[in-house]
Amino acid sequence: MQPTGEADLRVRLLYHFCRLRWPRARMSAARFAEHLGRAHARASSLSGVALLWPTFLSSVDAPDLFLASACLDGDSLAWNELFAARANRPDVLLIDALRSRAARLYPRDPLQQEQAVQEFWGFLLAGEREDATPVLARFDGLRPLVPWLIRVFHNRHLSQLRQAGAASSLTEDDRGEIPIPALPVGPTEHWHEAFRAAVREWLATCEPNDLLLLGLRIRYRMSQREVARILGIHEGNVSRQTGRLRDQFLARIRAQMQSEGWTDDDLDGLILTEMESLLLEEPRLSGDRLARILAARGRTVPDQLGDRLAQ
């Protein structure tokens, strides 16, 4: 759709904001408006309802959509910016995050690992089939781009491994003991804020042991084995404690959201749209706080893992 009036002004403001964010990427204001319209149509299609244009403009991550769209249009400078995008922590590049994921999917096969990463960029433009919509065109801007790309990469290769009968060799971490679903289109800004408030209240009630588990397993992405080694417990205990914490979290958040009027049973979208930033923002999950909890338990972080807590 072509925005008019106040919405048109809003689109132009978004365009200039994106140009400030990505000054080297090349795209006209008119082309940006076309991409916004395409993303709005896709978001409405996926959600099953026609998202109001003002609501979409309030929710869209315009810089991420701008960058993805410029890449889709074949702008080499935009692709350079995407290659240099950061993932999770400021010191981790997207391409390094993909290589790390490939190493877990294809252990002891460095050639396959590198091939998986190198082929991914072409896959984003070509899609699964010759007549399919380019994968990058499916990005609607209602979720962060980099985590979405990592998830697309992971799901693609996990599907290929399953078809080849090789997925059974993956570890529990690779198959997602703590599920990380694709980030969906979803609720209005009101529900995003309600979810964030509910999570902050839940985090405030967490005991030190729960915070330690959250920090090590989810924020710092440590494996079940690494956490067991740090805590001096069996891996099975880590799994059981993680399951207990997950169930408590889902019960508490679902109840609070329903008290606010939430009627959707599926909270996955909100969890992965908002959860990562909430965990990164939570001061009680910082590296120094976790180290203090460990020290109070008489435990220390092994040298090879200490750097990860310092980041």
* Cα(6)–Cα(94) distance, integer angstroms: 36
Q: How far is CA 225 from the centre of its chain?
A: 23
Q: With H, G, I as helix, E, B as strand and everything else as coil, classify residue 86.
A: strand
Nearest to 221 by CA among 101, 107, 117, 110: 101
Tens of pLDDT along the chain (311 residues) come to: 444 567 788 899 999 999 998 999 989 999 999 999 999 998 888 766 677 888 888 888 899 999 999 999 999 999 999 988 887 555 578 888 888 888 888 888 889 989 999 999 988 887 656 666 788 998 988 888 888 898 888 888 887 887 776 554 444 444 333 333 333 334 456 777 888 888 888 988 889 889 888 888 877 778 888 888 888 888 888 888 888 888 888 888 888 887 777 766 567 767 766 777 787 778 888 777 888 888 888 876 655 444 444 54
pLDDT at 162: 75
Helices (H), the chain: 5-21, 29-47, 53-59, 62-72, 76-83, 94-105, 110-126, 145-163, 172-175, 189-205, 208-214, 224-231, 235-259, 268-281, 287-296, 303-310
Task: Give the amino acid at 210.
Answer: D
pLDDT at 88: 57
**Is the separation of the CB atoms in 64 and 141 below 8 Å?**
yes
Name the DSSP letter for residue 182: P
pLDDT at 183: 35
Q: How far is CA 134 from the centre of its chain?
A: 20
* Cα(148)–Cα(215) distance, integer angstroms: 22
* Cα(187)–Cα(65) distance, integer angstroms: 18
Nearest to 194 by CA among 272, 120, 258: 258
Residues written for the chain: 311
pLDDT at 71: 94
pLDDT at 72: 93
Q: Where are the domains of the chain?
A: 1-170, 189-310
